[in-house]
Structure 1
Amino acid sequence: MALGFDLDPAVTPALRDGVLDLWADVSNAGGAVGFVPPVTREEIRPELVKHLAAMSEGRHRLLVGYDEDGRVAATAFFAFNTHRLMTHWVWLYTVMVHPRHQGKGYGRELLAAAADAARDFEGVEAIRLTCRGGIGLERFYGSCGYKEVGRVPGAIRVAPGDDRDDITMLLPLE
């Protein structure tokens, strides 16, 4: 069954808790979304608050995918550039699909929905995102149309002795 997507949903306690649960579950399953396991919802909460504050200021937008039970199953945050020479592209951050839904094609659905949403943003011509090397994310994003446009070797330290590349990917929105 496909996900149902909502761009700019009302930020209710249920949505906030759903995103926190998703972020913790993805992180604890080894997902590359800014944390390493083990992590708690309370450790993640300050990062979510930053995203929510940016949303209230119009600097970020949220795309949420809901599963057939109405639970938050996927998210992606858009971040708009404030530099006048870079307003023609947006960042895509915190791209997540719940581990229970892995392998169902929901990641592709999420990225397609994000591209569709971004095409409606005034003046936006491309999406950029970064991903952590060493786990195959660049291959996944590549299969969804993104192209690798930059790589900083060892820029992400997951643990002592475990440095990963920071990979920048770009999707033109023809």
Structure 2
Amino acid sequence: MSLTFTVDPVVDPALREGIVELWTDVSNAGGAVGFVAPVTQDDIRPEMVKHLVAMAEGRHRLVVGRDADGRVRACAFLALNAHRLMTHWVWAYTVMVDPALQGRGAGRALMEAAADAARSLDGVEAIRLSCRGGLGLEHFYAACGYKEVGRIPDAIRAAPGDDRDEIIMLLPLH
């Protein structure tokens, strides 16, 4: 399935709810996007509001992928780095692909769209992201050109007794 990607789309109720639905589906399928299943859309909405505020303030950018019917099927947020010594890179976070599309190239297309969006920003030379260990996500990101540059053992507590490494990855854009 081919997706059409948009950077900084107009955020209307349909887009907002489409992202909340995607975020809920990804979380409940075991995706590492800030929650541990089971979650409801009501659990996700407060975090979505934080993302929208950051976008409205110009601190974050949104890359969204829609299918032919206009349904949100993938998205990623890019956080601009406000520290004056680190404005040459951005964070990619809350990277999500509809579980029904995983393994079909949608994730790779999303990461390419995010890299293109970052390249369009003045002075941005790299994208950093972190991912939860134990799921093999670092292998996916490596296949997209990212390199592991750090690892913090047991930094993420998915559940009591289930601590995971935080893996930090970098994609140079030049």
Report the TM-score when normalising by structure 1.
0.99
For the residue of structure 2 that corresponds to 1:104, the secondary structure is coil
Aligned length: 174
* 1:76 partnered with 2:66: no
CA apart distance, 1:68: 2.1
CA apart distance, 1:8: 0.5
- 1:114 and 1:126 mapped to 2: Cα distance? 11
CA apart distance, 1:36: 0.4
- Other-structure match for 1:161: 161
For the residue of structure 2 that corresponds to 1:17, the secondary structure is helix
Identity across the alignment (%): 72
Q: CA RMSD in A?
A: 0.6
Cα shift readout 1:95-125 (whole Å, capped 9, x = no counterpart):
0000111111000000011111111100000
- Other-structure match for 1:136: 136
**Equivalent runs, 1:16-165 vs 2, <5 Å:** 16-165=16-165
For the residue of structure 2 that corresponds to 1:163, the secondary structure is strand
Cα shift readout 1:115-141 (whole Å, capped 9, x = no counterpart):
111111000000000000000000100
- 2:69 and 2:102 mapped to 1: Cα distance? 16
- 1:156 and 1:57 mapped to 2: Cα distance? 28
For the residue of structure 2 that corresponds to 1:113, the secondary structure is helix
For the residue of structure 1 that corresponds to 2:18, the secondary structure is helix
Q: Name structure 2 gaps, 5 residues minimum.
A: none
Matched letter for residue 31 of structure 2: G
Report the TM-score when normalising by structure 2.
0.99
- 1:102 and 1:82 mapped to 2: Cα distance? 33
CA apart distance, 1:163: 0.4
